[in-house]
Structure 1
Amino acid sequence: MMSKQISELESELAIVRGFYEADEKAFSESADPLADKIFYSSTKKRKQDLEKQLFLLKSERAHELLSLRLIGNQMAGSIKLRSLTKIVEPLNALLEQCAWKFWDKEGRADRIEETFSNLLDLRLAGIESGSTKLLILGNTSPDLTGDSALEEGLKNIFNVLASSNDEFSDSVHAIGIHACRSLSRLMDVMEKQNLAAEFSWGGPDRDYTWEGRPAEIVRIKSILDEIDEPHTETQTITGLIQMLSIRNRIEIYCPELEKKISLGYHRSLSKDVESLHLGDKKIFVIEKTTYSFKASSNKRDVYTLKSIKGEN
């Protein structure tokens, strides 16, 4: 029941955020800003009220249940302890690293704080009787900004699992290269033990399910293993705001590069981004991450906003 309430509230909030974006654009471009400010302020208050309601509901839910069902000839209602250990270790690392990548401003999953791991409180809640379905609990309580690190990390994991070959770089960037390696190790264990898997989670917005047939496990592992260590560099550029998004992403046009750049940003920069208007010319400090593929010359650049310095 609570998941349905959260889902309905998130749907309403998505609509209101769309209105908020439209009103913000109208306000920034208006010839009569005093009139448009009334609509903008009203929509902003409604958005804030819904965000507060969503925060309270998610706080009540507190813990989340996800499951990993293992399918194979050796899985006859039980699982060997050695096999369980090999699966749980990379799975735990994957969940922690994805959640930390979302939560930490720098997203360095090579140094997850122990207090953060304790906060996630990941537990093997049990193995469903008569099957090999692992039941896992984790803390999805939101922080003071209304965000749940584990919840967002899980969404990003399912995005990777559902990604086409062309979408993989963007999806991997969202979880980080360390989580990418942990996911590859998990796929490797299942492949070597001739297992198929079903990974499911009843998220607040919808039910997430990944059907990991053997061929799909091989596909994902092959792509993950092809991704070389990414190269990251920091750049300072001047750009014009082309698009503001509610999904932690903005688009700018950079005259010196003569192209549009889509920038993801950490939630800690939300207030800075909210102060931007379409058409603003600003100086941006960005991080350019280049993903290379070992067996080909293909490369993919992904950009992250680090800070906004001000007007040029």
Structure 2
Amino acid sequence: MTEAEPDIRTLPLPEAIQRLREHGEPIDPRPDIDTESLKRRFPHLAQVTTHDLTIDAPHGRQPARVYRDATVLPTGRALVWVHGGAFIGGHLDMPESNWVALELAARGIPVLAVDYVKCLGDVHFPAPSDDVLAAWRFARSQAAELLEIAPGGLLLGGASAGGNLAAGAVARLRDAGEPVPAGLVLVYPALHPDGAHPGSPADPASSFAQLSLNFAGGPEALHDPHAFPGLGNASGFPATLVVVCELDRLRPSGETFASRLAGAGGDTTLYVEVGADHAHINEPSDPGAPRTVAVIAEWIARLQLR
């Protein structure tokens, strides 16, 4: 009998990192989350086409995937989407990336889903952020060809760790004087060293702090507002949708950031998915997942472009 793979989420962080380094991403046991199964489960996704590519990034060529549906009325907006995975895992085939992108494309919002180097071993911030920035710049330069929109209609977004990287990329673009996205979508984002207690020093014993330290690479970087954008200047951000989950321990991080954006005069929408927990859009069968995707699509479609 083959030994069952351990659940990475239940392992101590050093063991999880070692296993991911040695064995790569574990196989997802769910039999109905591949693209063809998703299209059978959700017939409105049937006409979405995908195209895999790689993007030159500072830390090696990174996988990416374009999603478009030529049969629906275009909204004139597109999204660069960054999956989560605690900065140590995640990939383009997980539902949080693949299913979400399929759903948005079927609603007239083309998507470029992107990957990034993971913080395993000697890799730390700013490496994943650098890759997301490279993907964003690539998307802007190729917006017409890849996504059939003008660069001014391009948004950036992400979930969990991907939300951190998306918000951090906006802060870096702003501080470098580069154009920021037309809008920002953050779903249960991890924007502080301890997302459960955004205003407090991170407890070294907490799982949040351990993941944050592994991402940051050292205690000093725990105060870097580009690594943890919830700590930094909230001005200069584009219109932002922040989605948090009622039962999520990370909920305070997203809510605090939304409040700071609004306090700085930003166009900010906070949406609470009632009854949902962290990573709910990584499970298409979760009752809250389709609601969240619908909220994202409606917010993007209504966004006033500059």
Q: TM-score w.r.t. structure 1 length?
A: 0.25
- TM-score scaled to structure 2, two decimals? 0.25
Q: Is the radius of gyration larger for structure 1 or structure 2?
A: 1
